[in-house]
Every structure is written in C-alpha cells, then in structure tokens.
Amino acid sequence: MRIASADLTTLTLRAAVSFELELPEADGPVELERAGARFLLRLDRRAPGERTAPAFAEAQLELFVPDDEGSLPPAPELPPLVPVPEPPSHRVRRLSYSALALFERCAYRFYAERIIGLSPVEAAPAPAAPGLAPAEIGDAVHVALEVGADAGELAERVLARYPAARASDLERVSGLVRAWHDSPLAVRLEGLEGVRPERPFAFEHDGVLLHGRFDLFRLVDGKALVVDYKTNRLEELAPAEVVEGEYPLQRLVYALAALRAGAEEVEVSYVFLERPDDVVTTVFTRADLPELEERLTQAIRAIQESDFRPTPTELACAGCPVLDVVCAGPRLPGGGYDRRLAPAASLGA
C-alpha cells in the first residue's frame, strides 16, 4: 500500500500521539502499524527541567578569553572623532554697502530683511502731516541732481514722480538742490571733465559681489573723486560725527571700488546738504588697499558665520519688521537706545 507524503505526515503525528498514550514509558525506536501502514517511530524523552545545548555551541569561537589573572586584556583605544562643523545657515553671494551697514547695525534685522525677505515697517504718516516721507525727499533730490533739472522744471519732475508732494516738500527739495549747486565742492567741480553722476559699480571680494552706485564719480590721471550727497536732517549732530557713526563701511566700499577701477588715490567726500560747507573728506591711496580689503573680509566673514544676534538701538529698531513680534528689541538684556545718531540716519538718504 502506497501512502502520499502528506498523508504519511498526518499519520505520523497521529501515531505519535497514540504512541504517547499507549506506551508512556517507551524510549527509542518503535515499529508501529496504523491504517495498514508500517513505519518506525523514535521518541526521545527528557527529564523534567533538562535542557540540551545546541550541538554547534561546542564549536563556537571564544571571543573574549580572560588571561591567567582572570581579567580581559584592555581594548584598543581609538582616536577621538573629529567633530563635524555645522554648515552655515546662509551664504551670501551679493552684498550692497547698505546691507553691510545694516548687518553692522543689527545682525538680526539683517537676517530678517536680507535673508528671510521681510520688508521694513513704514511708520504711518500722521493725518495732519501729509506729504513726502524723508526717504522720498532724498530720492527726489538725487533724481533732480542726476538729470540736472533747473528750477523751472524741478517742481514738474518732482510732482510727476510724487503727486502727493506739497508746496513745502517742493520748497525743501529745491532748497537742497540749490544748496549743492552753491556748495564749495560743486563750484570746484564745475567745468571739470570726467564728472559722471549716478555711476554704478561692482567688484568681487572673497567670493561675494559688492555693488552700489556713486552719486558723483571722476577718475582722471590716477586720481579718483567720489561724492555722496546726503539729505539727512542733522539736528545737533556734526556731519563728521554722522559719517563716522553710520557710513564707515560705505566709505570703505567706495574707496575699494575706486582703487579696483585703477585709481592710485581716491578722495571720498560726503556733503550734507543742510550744511554744504562742512564737507567730510577722507583720502585713500593704494598703500591702504591691504587694510581696506582685510576690513571688508572681516565684515563679510561675520555675515558668512551666520551669527545673527540682535543689537537693539533706537536706530536699529526703528521700522524693524520683527520688533515686538519675535524680538523684544530694547527690552532685551543689554539693549539700549543710541539717541544721538537716530535723527540723522533715519530721516533721509
């Protein structure tokens, strides 16, 4: 009689159960006959609690063998891992001098505006004081000086650009334009060849493109002149005080741009049109180039290291888009206001 393997397995299991019941003391092979089939059944019994180790255990390699004193040999000491530096959160590729100045003033505001892309908060004009904002006054003056608008067409140009301008705004713009033309520096430049208004510039330093614009630029016989006229309200501040407090990086970039353009000597002059006779002038030569480049390198490196800590002052916090949103501003530990520089820098270009 032939039995399929599946049937034989079933019979074997049934026979094993039956064998257990019929021969509880049996051990070793037993020949059984079930359902007309004969097969050999072997039953190994264990004593209660007895456990048999697998046969392969005797052939296992001993990984840790104590020495004669009963202790394990010391493990080899691996050299310490070198920590992986954290990558910077942002790497700039382009910078204007105004961006550099903003970072120097408050790195956290630089992060909010120049990296995240938040816009400064413009103060709402008081209902009783409509007209042009200080920045718009400055823009109108620069445009008039760029195109050389005379007194007759000045008002027309300003109104075409800013229809909300009042008569007092037109008078202020006209007065600032006239102040430049009557200034000693403007008289000195009158009739000279090579004077160019609103000249853009760009140069690369440490992998970053620096760019900006000269209000006036002249380069003749290796000597360059850079003029920047300002429409700030100075109040009680001296022009030199404002330049040293607010524009050292701008002046540095101006000087580097002119020296990179081939100048052997560059004169950077700031003219505050409220006091056009008090010109703030600094002269740089090619011998100053290494120091200027190192100072610019330090300024760029500070940005590339992404250390965007807030340094609140009245000037830095005025119009900041994150003030009282995610930054406490002057209420931060160590925060304070520099009221001396705020009026000059916040009221014009």
Give the pLDDT confidence score for residue 228 in this predicted structure. 94
CA nearest to 8, candidates 34, 43, 42: 34
Alpha carbon dihedral 238, 240, 244, 246, in 10-degree steps, equals 60
Nearest 5 degrees, angle CA 165-CA 166-CA 170?
A: 80
The pTM for the full model equals 0.66
Give the pLDDT confidence score for residue 313 in this predicted structure. 82
Give the pLDDT confidence score for residue 36 in this predicted structure. 75
Token pair of 209 as six digits: 């493109």
User: pLDDT above 90 covers what percent of the chain?
Assistant: 36
**Residue 111 DSSP class:** I
**Region 66-71 average pLDDT:** 65
Give tens-digit pLDDT for 110-121. Answer: 999 998 889 988
Dist. CA 252–CA 297, nearest whole Å: 11
* Least confident range of 28-32, 254-258, 309-313: 28-32
Token pair of 16 as six digits: 């094993």
pLDDT band of 51, cuts 50, 70, 90? low
Residue with the two structure tokens 């159960």: 17
Give the pLDDT confidence score for residue 6 in this predicted structure. 47
- The domain limits of the chain are 1-45, 94-121+195-345, 131-188
**Region 147-176 average pLDDT:** 85
Domain 94-121+195-345 bears CATH identifier 3.90.320: yes
Report which of residues 138 and 226 the model is more confident about: 226
pLDDT band of 123, cuts 50, 70, 90? low
User: pLDDT above 70 covers what percent of the chain?
Assistant: 74
HSE toward the beta carbon, residue 144, CA cutoff 13 A: 33
Token pair of 126 as six digits: 């008081």
